[in-house]
Amino acid sequence: MSALHAVFGQPISHSRSPAIHAAFGQAEGIALQYRTIETGVDSFPAALQAFFEEGGRGANVTLPLKEAAFALCGSHGTAARRAGAVNTLVWQQDHWHGENTDGSGLVRDLTSRHGLDLRGCRVLLLGAGGAARGVAPALLDAGITELVVANRTPARADTLVDALGEPGRAVSAYWEALNEQGDFEIIINATSAARSDTPPPKLSLGLVNSRTSAVDLNYGAAAVPFLSWARAAGCRKQIDGLGMLVEQAAAAFHLWHGRHPDTDPVYAQLRTQTG
């Protein structure tokens, strides 16, 4: 009997996760069912319980549910605990165990696929929600010198920085005063502004130097506005979140099935489809 898995989020119909995990399962000879389940924060606990009652024992979680998923877990992995956000659920005996594979997935994509050396880099992280929380600890672990977190609600940026526990290396900044922060080697967009009706404030060209790479954790149409700005600003590389999506999915697959699939064929196929 095939295993039952799902990805929860809102919106979720655009998700590539079912295709990714189907490809992983086929390559590894593992039969599985993987579906999308759309739910908001308020209805998420009931939706997760219904999924469990159907036989679900492993799931992914995306916007806007990563922090809510953290609260529903009876135990957490180190990455999830540091992030305060969960993107992968694993049933363990009598409770959901929460992991966060976003950060490791991003670092693996940036270093292995795109050839970036994160060591010594000054990084600007735009956003302080579940996506930003997921990647921030892994960026620090990868050896960056400084992480500046900016969010339209400054208190959320302050909360994330406090949770990271890296005074001096992780600091918050007002979005409106980013032009006072100097330039960065990496600028990461972890906001969901392109999926909403409210665009983020415009970014200064002074944030960019000759080595700057721009990374959007979104992919497809949602990544177009930020990466268009990055191209116009002269960023050396413009990278969307498709590779991170594949790498974090592979890490989740390993947690569920004990095997880490080859990600390159799946990434190549999705890149051909996405452009």
Within 13 Å and on the Cβ side, how many CA atoms surround 136?
35
Question: Which residues contribute to the annotated binding site for shikimate?
Answer: 15-17, 62, 87, 102, 219, 248
Question: Which residues contribute to the annotated binding site?
Answer: 15-17, 62, 87, 102, 127-131, 151-156, 217, 219, 241, 248
In whole angstroms, what is the distance from residue 191 CA to residue 8 CA? 18
Contact 226, 216 (CB under 8 A): yes
Backbone angles phi, psi at 21, to 5 degrees: -70, -30
Q: What strands, in cross-sheet order, belong to the sheet with 95-99?
A: 32-38, 3-9, 58-61, 88-92, 95-99, 75-76
* Token pair for 60: 């992914």
| Residue in 81, 5, 71 with CA at minimum distance from that of residue 41 | 71
Q: Residues 10, 147, 78, 115: what is their CA dihedral angle, to the nearest 10 degrees? A: 80
Amino acid in the structure at residue 114: H
Question: Which residues contribute to the annotated binding site for NADP(+)?
Answer: 127-131, 151-156, 217, 241
* Token pair for 263: 């990600």
Contact 193, 132 (CB under 8 A): no
Could you give the residue numbers annotated as active site? Answer: 66
In whole angstroms, what is the distance from residue 73 CA to residue 249 CA? 19
DSSP helix/strand/coil, 204: coil
Cα–Cα distances in angstroms (integers) from residue 59 to residues 98, 105, 128, 148, 169, in the given order = 10, 16, 23, 31, 33
